A and B are shown apart, each in its own frame.
Chain A
Amino acid sequence: MASVIQLDHIWKTYRTEDVELHAVRDVSLQIAKGEFVAIMGSSGSGKSTMMNIIGCLDRPSKGTYQLDGIDVSTLDRDGLADIRNQKIGFVFQGFNLLTRTSAVENVELPMMYSRTTIPSRDMRRRALKALDMVGLSQRADHHPNQLSGGQQQRVAIARALVNEPALLLADEPTGNLDTRTSIEIMEVFQTLNDQGITIIMVTHEHDIAQYNKRCLVMRDGVVRSDTPVVDRSSAKAQREALEVHAAGGGPKA
Chain B
Amino acid sequence: MTSLATLNLALRALQRNKMRSILTMLGIVIGVGAVVAMVGIGNGAKSQVEAQIATLGQNVILIFPSSYSSGGVQSGIGGAGTLKLEDAKAIEAEVPDVVAVSPGTRVSSQLNYGNQNWSTSVIGEAPEYFEIRQWEIVDGAGFSEQEVRSAAKVAVIGATVARQLFGEEDPLGQIMRVKHVPFQVIGVLKPKGTSVMGSDQDDVVIVPYTTVMKRLSGTTNLRMISVQCTGEDRMAAVVDGITELLRQRHRLSGDRENDFMVRSQQEIAEMATATSKVLTLLLGAIASVSLIVGGIGIMNIMLVSVTERTREIGIRIALGAHGTDIMRQFLIEAVTLSSLGGTLGILLGLATSTLLSRFAGWPTLTSVNAIVIAFLFSAAVGVFFGLYPAKKAAALDPIDALRYE
Which residues does A use to contact B, with CB under 8 Å? 52, 55, 57-58, 77-78, 81-82, 84-86, 90, 92, 96-98, 100, 109-110, 112-114, 117, 159
Chain A residue with the shortest CB-CB distance to B320: A85
Partner of B320, one of A58, A84, A92, A96: A84
Q: Report the minimum CB–CB distance from A152 to chain B (whole Å).
A: 13
* Contact of A100 with B16 in the complex, beta carbons under 8 Å: yes
Q: How far is the CB of A183 from chain B (nearest CB, A)?
A: 26
| Known pairs A78-B322, A100-B16, A109-B316 / 18 extra A-B pairs, C-beta < 8 Å | A57-B399, A77-B322, A77-B323, A81-B317, A82-B320, A84-B318, A84-B320, A86-B320, A90-B318, A98-B312, A98-B315, A109-B315, A109-B319, A110-B319, A113-B1, A113-B319, A113-B321, A117-B2
By a CB distance below 8 angstroms, the chain A residues around B398 are: 57
State in angstroms the CA–CA spacing of A19 and B402 once bound together.
Answer: 26
Question: Which of the listed residues A78, A92, A109, A112 has the most CB atoms from chain B within 10 Å of its own CB?
Answer: A112
Q: List 24 A-B contacts (CB under 8 A).
A: A57-B318, A58-B399, A81-B317, A81-B321, A81-B322, A82-B320, A90-B318, A96-B314, A96-B315, A96-B318, A96-B402, A97-B315, A98-B315, A100-B16, A109-B315, A109-B316, A110-B319, A112-B5, A113-B1, A113-B319, A113-B320, A113-B322, A113-B325, A114-B320
Given A78-B322, A84-B320, A92:B312 Cβ within 8 A: no
Give the docked Cα–Cα distance between A89 and B28 (Å): 43
- Residues of chain B within 8 A (CB-CB) of A109 are 315-316, 319
| B16 contacts across to A, CB distance below 8 A | 100
Bound Cα distance from A82 to B16, whole angstroms: 30
CB distance from B15 to the nearest CB of A (A): 10
Chain B's closest residue to A90 (CB) is B318
A82 CA to B322 CA in the complex, in Å?
8
Identity of the chain B residue whose Cβ is nearest the Cβ of A112 in the assembled complex: B1
B192 within 8 A of A: no
Chain B residue numbers with a CB within 8 Å of A110 are 319-320
List residues of chain A with CB within 8 A of the CB of B323.
77-78
- 1/0 per residue, CB under 8 A from A, across B290-323: the answer is 0000000000000000000001101111111111
A58 to B317, CA, bound (A): 12
How many Å lie between the Cα of A248 and that of B399 in the bound state?
46
- The chain A residue with its CB closest to the CB of B323 is A77
- In chain B, residues 325-383, which have Cβ atoms closer than 8 Å to a Cβ of chain A? 325
* Complex interface residues of chain B between 385 and 405 (CB less than 8 A to chain A): 398-399, 402
Query: With A52-B399, A92-B402, A113-B325 in contact, do A81 and B320 touch (Cβ < 8 Å)?
Result: yes
A208 CB, min distance to chain B CBs, angstroms: 21
By a CB distance below 8 angstroms, the chain A residues around B402 are: 92, 96
Separation of A113 and B6 alpha carbons in the complex (Å)? 11
Instruction: Rank and list the top 4 A-B pairs by shortest CB-CB distance, nearest first.
Output: A85-B320, A113-B320, A110-B319, A78-B322
A118 to B329, CA, bound (A): 19
CB-CB under 8 A from A92, the residues of chain B are: 402
Q: How distant is the Cα of A77 from the Cα of B396 in the complex, in angstroms?
A: 11
Query: Shortest Cβ distance from B286 into chain A, in angstroms?
Result: 41
Asked if B399 and A113 make an inter-chain contact with CB atoms under 8 angstroms apart, the answer reads no
Tell me which residues across on chain A come within 8 A of B316, comparing CB atoms.
109, 113
Closest Cβ of chain B: how far from A249's Cβ, in Å? 43
Query: Which residues of chain B come closer than 8 Å to A57, judged between CB atoms?
Result: 318, 398-399
Q: Could you tell me the distance between the alpha carbons of A97 and B318 in the complex, rounded to whole angstroms?
A: 12
* B317 surroundings in chain A (CB, below 8 A): 81
> Which residue, A52, A57, A82, A100, has most C-beta atoms of chain B within 10 A?
A57
Which B residues touch A98, using CB under 8 A?
A: 312, 315
A221 to B398, CA, bound (A): 22
- Chain B residues with CB below 8 A from A82, complex form: 320
1/0 contact string of B1-21 vs chain A (CB within 8 Å): 110010000000000100000
Which chain A residues lie closer than 8 Å to B321 at the CB level? 81, 113
Most buried by B among A81, A84, A96: A81
Tell me if A96 and B311 are in contact (CB < 8 A).
yes
Residues of A within 8 A of B399 (CB): 52, 57-58
CB-contacts of B142-180 with A (<8 A): none
- Distance, CA A77 to CA B395, complexed state (A): 10
